[in-house]
Structure 1
Amino acid sequence: MKNTQEYIRLSQLLAKQLTGELSSIELEQITLLEKEEDKKDILNSVREKGIDFDRLERYQSFNLEEARKKVDWKIRFVEKSKKSSLIKMLRYAAVLALPLALAVYMLYVADTTPSNKLEQVSVEIQPGETKAQLYLSDGRIVDLENQENKLIQETNGAVIEKDLVGLNYQKQHQTNNSLKEVENVVVTPVGGEYQLTLSDGTKVWMNAMSEIRYPVQFSGTTRKVKIVGEVYFEVAKNAGKPFIVDVNDVEIKVLGTQFNVSAYPDDRSIQTTLVEGAIRLKSKELSGILTSVDLSPGIQANYDHFSKHLDTQVVDVDRVTAWKNGKFVFEKESLNDIMRKLERWYDIKVFFQSNELKNKRFSARIDRYGNINDVLEKMQQTTNIRFDIKNNIIQIKKN
């Protein structure tokens, strides 16, 4: 029973890794498991099998409830026969973790029927576009994809304008300082980006899969917002009212400046890059002691989620902020990091044949609004890897 539970847990972790949904703690767990020879063999065996795209299509339309019933029956049968191998046990254990682990069973674990040979399929994968959702204080959700001018009424009487650029709180048609303070949230999906101007005139650019929470009107002695994902700020100067960005364990304090923050939940670190002006970062170490660092232009601060350590380095600001200007700029960047960025922007799913491929490094300057095939072809020409594509699934293999 203990082994069965171990294999179930292993399959859950593997399924999440294959679908890019591992948490930072689970990533550490699977790294430790890879050091155990028996677990390592299973992981490598499953990863090295190619994706069967015919199965993928069946998986996408799969009836989960029927699958559970069939799997329950198969597991009971296997336990009675006592003839199953380790790989078979993994197969059925994985399906217990439906719907995530079902991907392992359907895509990566072969059955008795031979799999079809994977072929390269030329497809048009569209780049991201301007789209987001606005969450109002009373729970209403406004789809911001339509770029037509529109006035949006808040519960406190404020009227927000949505113009051709994005949301503009500076143009509020009612600016009564006695209005009750309410918060709004803007969220960009996979393949989305958005711009907004806050009530103080601060301009905000949001990358894909990002979120910002802010008051409709700033009151009190500070201007405070909270973000997830990647956001570029051009902060309006106000010496008497500091602008504060809350990013999980990091607080960024500014008076008026331009900077970029990348704080995706699946990234190991929070990266804050100063373009101009000056900012101060505060963070909490493992010991609980608060530390702070002042940045000057061209310096990037990295706060590690695991070690709680904050350090700085000189970076190419143009590379870091290229996404805001419609470009992808990669400078000796790992394929794993590159593909995570492409997943967010092109709404794709990426699978690596082996962990070794994730560490390959590339340099490139590419149009962010171009065809993803242009990006992949440039990488494929310079190394011994290939990209197999069908629909929005990309599998990366050794050539």
Structure 2
Amino acid sequence: MDKILRYLENPDFVRWVYKPNGQNTIFWNEFQKDNPEEIGIIREAKTILLRLKPKKEILGPKIDSALPSIILKIRKKQQIRRIRQFTLSTFKYAAIAVLFFLTGLFIMKERYSSAIDEMSRQYANISYYNGEESRLVLADGKNIIISEKFSQIRYNEKGTIIIDQNDTISQNISGNNPMNQLIVPYGKNSSITLTDGTKAYLNAGSRLIFPPVFEDETREVFLVGEGYFDVARNPHKPFIVKTTDINVTALGTAFNVSAYPTESKIEVVLAEGKVNINKNEFALIHVTTDMTPNDMICFNKSTKKMDLKQVNTENYTSWHLGYINFESAELHKITTKLERYYDVNIFFENPETANKKITGKLKLKADIDEMLKVLATTSTFKIKKINEHEYLLN
């Protein structure tokens, strides 16, 4: 924690996170290149600051005066305890997702709290990211490592698990509302067929918490990261994807949810069928927003507002088919997807380059070097390989 606080208490670092400009972005990019051992800590610090960012915009001169209140928030007892429990100094910045995600889960539904709390204690010291393998964590204590880059998991109606069409695993289902977890680190992808026949594709850096068998009146799962859901139709038992901020309810349809904690927005894109969205909050009356095919809901985590618009769904869902389609997309948004998919870091020599808009289609090849050559050709920039996990775009 002390290593993270060095950055949280550094006014120059806070200015860069809250009010980035060409000069400070170049400085911190160079600093990370010269100090690669600090990259993980810097990303953790950035994530914490973004989560604690005040609703009102902080102007440059006021950043210093805002620091005490920010540090005070960080030092609150509950946050310190959770940060220590998850040993954040050993995690890649995406592990912060687990912390805030689980915190949100505790207030979503009381009956799931004990199961999730127990799992978080059991596996608190496991690093889920940064070169790790995918894993399936069962409620009965089994921790199944999945080494394949692209894995397929299927549950039959009785809850028996079949991994990559070869390994069959039986699970002892006992206790009240047992919950399993599928954890997919950066550099990996996975699909899982649940007991009701619903198929979920999990993108890199994602986690799905779900029951081994749907026994209640609804089929509820919890998502952090990104998932594409092809929901098996059951008009008598709605399928609900819960995130930290919103819930997506469907009877039988296909849609994509992107809910990475490091992102400022949650995006839901509907490919077919119909779903409705409501905020995940305590309220006497829940207001829902209905979606139809080609709709996208963009939920702003800061303002708590939803924006509904029509989009080309292929630009948001094609990743689960093995390619990325983009139309007039900012370059940094594309590189962020590639960083997660391949578990690498891509830096920009010129910060203005990050905002350049490009159009194209990238097939997600196994070879990251080959992929980046295609991106460089598409964007008319050059890619320089720094080491096995770091690249510079100039």
1:279 Cα shift? 0.3
Which deviations, in whole Å up to 9, do the C-alpha atoms of 1:153-189 show, x marking residues without a partner?
xxxxx652224359999xx799x9x985311010101
Structure 2 residue identity aligned to 1:46: F
Aligned length: 297
Q: Per the alignment, do residues 273 and 384 of structure 1 end up closer, same or farther by CA in structure 2, a change over 3 Å counting?
A: closer
Match of 1:164 in 2: 164
**Of 319, 323, 331, the match for 1:335:** 331
Aligned-pair CA distance for 1:99:
7.3
Distance in 1 between residues matched to 2:310 and 2:265, nearest whole Å: 16
Query: Is the CA contact 1:129–1:193 (under 8 Å) kept in the aligned structure 2?
Result: no
Residue 299 of structure 2 is aligned to residue 303 of structure 1: yes
Separation (CA, whole Å) in 2 of partners of 1:129 and 1:278: 37
Instruction: Give, in whole Å, the separation in 2 of the partners of 1:149 and 1:270.
Output: 26
Match of 1:182 in 2: 178
Q: CA deviation at 1:138?
A: 3.5
Aligned-residue RMSD, C-alpha: 4.0
* Structure-2 residue corresponding to 1:241: 237
Q: Indicate whether 1:46 and 2:27 are aligned.
A: yes
| Alignment-derived partner of residue 393 in structure 2 | 396
- Residue 275 of structure 1 deviates from its aligned partner by 1.1
Which residue in 2 is equivalent to 1:141? 143
**CA–CA distance in structure 1, aligned partners of residues 136 and 257 of structure 2:** 21
Match of 1:201 in 2: 197
What TM-score, normalized to structure 2?
Answer: 0.65
Residue 331 to residue 45, structure 1, CA distance change in 2 (3 Å): closer
User: Max radius of gyration: which structure?
Assistant: 1
Letter in 2 for 1:392: H
Bigger Cα displacement from structure 2, 310-319 vs 178-187: 178-187
SS in 2 for 1:273: strand
- Report whether the alignment pairs 1:222 with 2:203: no
Q: How big is each residue's C-alpha offset from its partner over 1:7-46, in whole Å with a ceiling of 9 and x where there is no partner?
A: 95235548xx7xxxxxxxxx4xx22xx58xxxx85x2561
Change (3 A) 1:216 1:44: closer
Supply the AA of the counterpart residue of 2:391.
I
TM-score by length of structure 1 reads 0.64
Q: Give the superposition deviation at 1:320.
A: 1.5
Residues 222, 301 of structure 1: alpha-carbon distance in 2 compared, 3 angstrom cutoff? same
* Whole-angstrom distance in 2 between the partners of 1:253 and 1:330: 27
Structure 2 counterpart of 1:315: 311
AA at the equivalent of 2:160 = I
**Distance across 2 between alignment mates of 1:256 and 1:233:** 10
Aligned-residue identity in percent: 27
Relative distance call for 1:270 and 1:51 in structure 2 (3 A) is: closer
Q: Is the Cα contact below 8 Å between 1:130 and 1:194 reproduced in 2?
A: no
Gaps of 5+ in 1: 18-26, 61-97, 101-127, 153-157
Query: Post-superposition shift, 1:291?
Result: 3.2
CA 1:195–1:44: 2 relative to 1, 3 Å: closer
Distance in 1 (alpha carbons) for counterparts of 2:329 and 2:322 = 18
User: CA-to-partner distance for each residue in 1:198-250, whole Å, 9 max, x for gaps?
Assistant: 11111111111111111111112111110011111111111111111101110
Separation in 1 of the partners of 2:385 and 2:31? Answer: 12
Higher relative contact order (CA 8 A, sep 6+): 1
Provide the secondary structure at the position in 2 that maps to 1:221: coil
Tell me how far apart the structure 2 counterparts of residues 313 and 161 of structure 1 sit (CA, whole Å).
39
Q: 1:84-163 alignment to 2 at 5 Å?
A: 132-145=134-147, 160-163=160-163
| Secondary structure, aligned partner of 1:321 | helix
- Which position in structure 2 is the counterpart of 1:352? 348
Report Cα offsets for 1:360-381 as digits up to 9, x if no partner: 1111212112433344334434
Alpha-carbon separation, structure 2, partners of 1:299 and 1:166: 38
| CA distance in 2 between partners of 1:148 and 1:245 (Å) | 21
Q: Residue 275 of structure 1 contacts residue 317 of structure 1 at CA under 8 Å; is this kept in 2?
A: yes
1:324/1:179 Cα in 2 relative to 1: closer, same or farther (>3 Å)?
same
For residue 10 of structure 1, what is the aligned residue in structure 2? 11
Name the amino acid aligned to 2:136: L
- Is the contact made by 1:222 and 1:241 (CA closer than 8 Å) also made in structure 2? yes
Between the aligned partners of 1:316 and 1:357, the Cα distance in structure 2 is: 25
Greater helix fraction, Structure 1 or Structure 2: 2
* Structure 2 unaligned residues grouped into runs of 5+: 1-5, 39-87, 91-129
* 8 Å contact from structure 1 (residues 283, 310) kept in 2: no
Query: How far apart, CA to CA, are the structure 1 residues paired with 2:233 and 2:179?
Result: 22
